[in-house]
Amino acid sequence: MVCPARFVAIIAVALGFASGTALAQTWPSQPIKLIVPFPPGGGTDGVARALAQGLSTELGQPVVVENKAGAGGTIGANAVATAASDGYTIGLATSSTHPAAMVLQNNVPYHALKNFAPVTQIASTSYVLIGSPTLPASNLAELIAHAKANPGKLNFANVGTSTLGYLLTMQMKALSGTEIVDVSYKGSSQFYPDLMRNQVQLFLDNPGASTPLVAAGKMKAFAVTSPTPSMPGVPLFSEAGKAVGLQGFDSEFWYGIVAPAGTPAAIVERIQAATAKYVNSPEGKKAFASRSLEPVGSTAGQFAATIQKDIERFTALAKQFNIQPQ
């Protein structure tokens, strides 16, 4: 015989499931807001706008992009975390705004998992090691040999010591045993010209913006962390890095969709299904390929596991290099 308290609990769960399912059946009945935690015109914004168009078609309601930039993406991310959990506010998340922000930034007002309902990983992109066109090296092994022969004489650009890119350059230097000076810039619009003029020699980039510069011979590309169709002929670190200790350097940068914690599971599943359908459609693949992105469309559970794994990995790296939150 079921005890009264347990019976009440079972009924409550059943009613909650039923109400969530009913809500999902009528959702969406109004436009959906997609918060992008970076300014208009950048790479993340471009991903969001391509996705918004595809989701609008799949869900039958406009998906409106709203840019909320600032504090390394944490202002926009927090706007999602504190929004109503009714499915009408979702957000674009990245490796930087969620796992990396928790590890590298002070006073982040949210937890990357506890305050969100992970929906799906949209896509991933590689990291590429780019360098000045005048560097006396034609491949990764020659570059590392040159750096070791000239300790402290090469510069590695970064966009801040509280960023994921900086953390990964520290890992790269440690794995390769090189002494390269870190130089901080406010953005790629500043260091790209210096890189092309050899005033700074190296940068760990995502290939979206640097691909045309490499193709035009204005920069060199030494290796990528995962297959990158937009950079044919550029070898993988797993192969080119074997002789120099970098074969295990295999990080990827991801984009995903999150909703506020408490968003009904049935709505999360609908957004996930619509996203996966779009990113793996011919239109989605074309839009993402133009940005050097590989479509994913993972389940909510798989995406949550990816976030957790990155939190643990970035925490370990920050501890290894004594990087304090800023």
Stronger pLDDT, 1 or 266, i.e. the higher one = 266
> 120-134, pLDDT tens digit by residue?
999 999 999 999 999
DSSP state, residue 325: P
Q: Do domains 30-126+253-320 and 128-244 have the same CATH topology?
A: yes
Q: Which fold has domain 30-126+253-320?
A: D-Maltodextrin-Binding Protein; domain 2 (3.40.190)
Give the pLDDT mean for 311-317: 97
Residue 43's pLDDT is 87
pTM score, whole prediction: 0.89
β-strands 32-36, 202-205: how paired? unpaired
Compute the average pLDDT of residues 216-243: 95
Strands 128-131 and 116-126: unpaired
What backbone phi and psi angles, to 5 degrees, belong to 132? -60, 140
Q: Answer whether 85's CB lies under 8 Å from 271's CB.
A: no
Which position has the higher pLDDT, 288 or 8? Answer: 288
**Could you tell me the two tokens for 207?**
């290939």
According to DSSP, residue 248 is labeled T
Query: Which whole number is the average pLDDT over 155-171?
Result: 95
| C-alpha to C-alpha distance for 200 and 58, rounded to whole angstroms | 46
| Residue 64 to residue 34: CA distance in whole angstroms | 6
Structure tokens at 284: 């989605």
CA distance 95 to 131: 23
Q: How many CB atoms lie within 10 A of CB 66?
A: 13
pLDDT digits (tens, 9 = 90+) for 41-86: 888 999 999 999 999 999 999 999 999 999 989 999 999 999 999 9
Q: What are phi and psi of 247, to 5 degrees?
A: -65, -20
Residue 187: pLDDT over 70:
yes
Cβ proximity of 55 and 278 under 8 Å: yes
DSSP 85-130: SSSSEEEEEETIIIIIHHHHSTT-SS-TTTTEEEEEEEEEEE-EEE
| pLDDT, tens only, 78-101 | 999 999 999 999 999 999 999 999
Predicted confidence at residue 9, as pLDDT, reads 46
CATH code for residues 128-244: 3.40.190.10
Least confident stretch, 64-68, 105-109, 189-193, 198-202: 189-193
Q: Provide the residue ranges of all domains of the chain, joining segments of one domain with +.
A: 30-126+253-320, 128-244
What's the confidence (pLDDT) of residue 144? 98
Residue 67: left if φ>0, alpha if ψ -120 to 50, beta else—which one? beta
- Nearest to residue 21, comparing CAs of 317, 267, 261? 267
Query: How many other C-beta atoms can be found within 10 angstroms of the C-beta atom of residue 225?
Result: 24
